[in-house]
């Protein structure tokens, strides 16, 4: 059936639904620039509530498998493509993208002029949008903008979960974590306790973790301001790593500020420079908000990583506390594995805290 994506600023782009949604679907229209990794993208909780437009023209050609998933369901509200391949030509593929999306009841709008659509988003910024079968004006006043929704409640675990059986324990505060993040830590010999983001400070101390990880997640970081006091106290007690949203929350907890980018960084090829080594890494990213560097001038945080394209802040380290944070995804699913060493830096913080040997 013919379908449309209607932008909040009035633009309408027409395509065809692979399966017809029962109603209008509202979300924030964003674009992803990677050529591969659509399965990881679509199961990344950081995309909750968004309508993902893929810039690469052919999506679905290697199908869907059982291993490259970051959560148990498709997270975006809808998917917009130029072309969707109906077969998966890969030995691990067990179903098509179209069949997978139908199972999760997530609409796929294809045959859309995504090149022009993405140009519109780049020009005007990420914005509210509706996918619909009706070519008519949309009353956007009835929808709550994503930045005002508490979407973290929709993706955080309801109960504690434990993975791995290592000698050292990581407490992971879940704001919408990716499973490959846990896998990266388990691979390095940790037991990982995944905790609801609102877990009390007392309970975390009871677990006696060796380190604390603040995960990625969707939405506006200022929607969880009531957690900042707890985050600051915990980060002062344990070696701490913040990733993506976790990075933003650490900055806010120590007096910094965040702002929304005109259009976010979403792709697997974002160049980031380490200020110390001057080395440039290619990174995987998915975020709308960034920490403003000027807001940290009177804090004990110092910039560690900078985005080469727009000079936005991509990472922090604390002068006296064992805290490291990055805006990008070191687990790199999808994307290059250039920055996996961030997990080793985190490990070194933990070992140093315990007076044990650290490794390069």
Positions annotated as catalytic residues are 244, 329, 331
Beta bridge partners of 221: none
CA geometry: angle 229, 312, 237, nearest 5 deg: 25
The CA-to-CA distance between both ends of the chain, in Å, stands at: 56
Query: To 5 degrees, how large is the angle CA 124–CA 127–CA 132?
Result: 120
Place of tokens 């796929």: 108
The answer to whether the bond into 334 is cis (omega within 30° of 0) is yes
Query: Hunting for tokens 């509210």 — which residue is that?
Result: 128
Count of helices and strands (H, E) across the chain: 9, 19
Residue 322 φ/ψ, nearest 5 degrees: -85, 70
- Residue 267's SS3 state is strand
Q: Which residue shows structure tokens 């974002």?
A: 270
| DSSP at 95 | B
Angle at the Cα of 269 from the Cα atoms of 105 and 241, rounded to 5 degrees: 85
Task: Identify the DSSP state of 157.
Answer: -
CA distance readout (Å), 72 to 23, 42, 77, 211:
23, 10, 15, 26
């Amino acid at each position: 059936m013919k379908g449309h994506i209607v932008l909040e600023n009035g633009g309408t782009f027409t395509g065809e639904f692979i399966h017809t949604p029962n109603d209008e679907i509202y979300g924030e229209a964003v674009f992803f620039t990677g050529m591969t990794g659509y399965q990881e993208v679509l199961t990344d909780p950081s995309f909750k509530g968004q309508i993902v437009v893929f810039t690469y023209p052919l999506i679905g050609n290697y199908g869907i498998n059982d291993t490259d998933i970051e959560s148990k369901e498709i997270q975006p509200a809808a998917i917009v493509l130029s072309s969707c391949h109906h077969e998966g030509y890969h030995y691990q593929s067990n179903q098509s993208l179209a069949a997978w999306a139908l199972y999760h009841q997530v609409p796929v709008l294809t045959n859309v002029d995504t090149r022009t659509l993405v140009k519109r988003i780049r020009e005007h910024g990420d914005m509210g949008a509706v996918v619909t079968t009706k070519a008519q004006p949309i009353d956007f006043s009835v929808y709550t903008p994503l930045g005002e929704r508490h979407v973290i409640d929709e993706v955080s675990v309801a109960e504690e979960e434990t993975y791995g059986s290592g000698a050292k324990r990581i407490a992971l505060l879940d704001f919408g974590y990716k499973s490959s993040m846990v896998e990266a830590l388990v691979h390095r010999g940790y037991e990982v306790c995944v905790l609801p983001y609102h877990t009390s400070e007392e309970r975390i101390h009871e677990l006696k973790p060796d380190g604390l990880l603040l995960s990625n997640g969707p939405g506006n970081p200022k929607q969880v301001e009531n957690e900042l006091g707890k985050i600051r106290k915990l980060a002062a007690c344990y070696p701490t790593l913040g990733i993506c949203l976790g990075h933003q929350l650490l900055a806010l907890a120590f007096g910094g500020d965040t702002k929304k980018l005109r259009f976010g960084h979403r792709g697997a090829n974002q160049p980031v420079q380490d200020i110390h080594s001057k080395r440039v890494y290619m990174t995987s990213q998915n975020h709308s908000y960034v920490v403003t560097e000027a807001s940290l001038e009177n804090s004990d945080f110092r910039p560690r990583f900078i985005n080469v394209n727009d000079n936005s802040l991509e990472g922090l380290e604390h002068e006296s506390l064992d805290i490291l944070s990055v805006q990008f995804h070191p687990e790199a699913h999808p994307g290059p594995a250039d920055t996996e060493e961030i997990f080793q830096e985190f490990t070194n913080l933990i070992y140093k805290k315990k007076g044990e040997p650290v490794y390069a």
